[in-house]
Amino acid sequence: MLIAIDIGNSSINIGFWGDKGLLTRKIETFPFKTPEEYRSIFEDFLSENSVEKNTTGVIISSVVPGYAEVLKETLRGLISVEPLMVSCRIKTGLKFDIPNPEELGSDRIANTVAAYELYRCPVAVVDFGTATTISVVGGDANYIGGSIMPGVRLMNESLARGTAKLPEVELKIPGSALGTDTTECIQSSLIYGTAGAVERLLSEIEKEVGYGLKVVVTGGYGGIVSKFLRKEYELRPNLTLEGLRIIYMRNRDA
């Protein structure tokens, strides 16, 4: 069994790859827990799904400083193998045609590894998470760049914190682009606005590189915002975990 862990700013996504295929569990990143508390969550999940503790490997992607060490400590009480940490310095299958690849988030590395492996063509991964990110790989498996903007939850929270009367609203599919009250106006701008911003960014990127891109959507809000994209796309909710599995296999015998 392979355990793949994606530690994000909002949630920790855990994938268990074994005889039953992929089993997933999501837990909130905050509040911070102790290794013992995380270990209990792992043990309960394995027990609930009748998964044996015959783990052959662990791979971790983290964009939250300090969390990876806590999860590594957690797993030391369950399994004997040392986790593989994702970075641009391990074997990913990508070439990094950017000035500072060490600054690239490990989740974006995993996303693009999976997307390029799946489609074998120039691809843009749109991750609607805490941040909304676009990550682009060219036709020669070369990571060439992308963009980062605040995610819908961050914009929602920012409006509520930075104004006197605007509330934080439920993040759901808006009934119309034309809001008729404050809540609907905010929901419309968050969802339609984010979709529109991503479309414009993708169009400008395609102009700059001179070719079309396969668009792959993932992230916690991908199922909501993607419905308002006018570009064709593929929705892959577990793309990051898929990428972690591919990276692990490429480094298993390294």
Question: Mind telling me the catalytic residues?
Answer: 107
**Which pair of tokens denotes residue 80?**
């004997």
Give helix then strand counts, H and E, for the chain.
7, 11
Compute φ and ψ for 65, nearest 5 degrees: -55, 135
Q: Which DSSP category does 102 fall into?
A: G
Helices 239-251, 106-119: crossing angle, 10 deg rounding: 90
Query: SS3 letters for 175-195?
Result: CCCCCCCHHHHHHHHHHHHHH
**Which pair of tokens denotes residue 159?**
């409006």
Among 129, 121, 89, residue whose Cα is nearest residue 214:
121
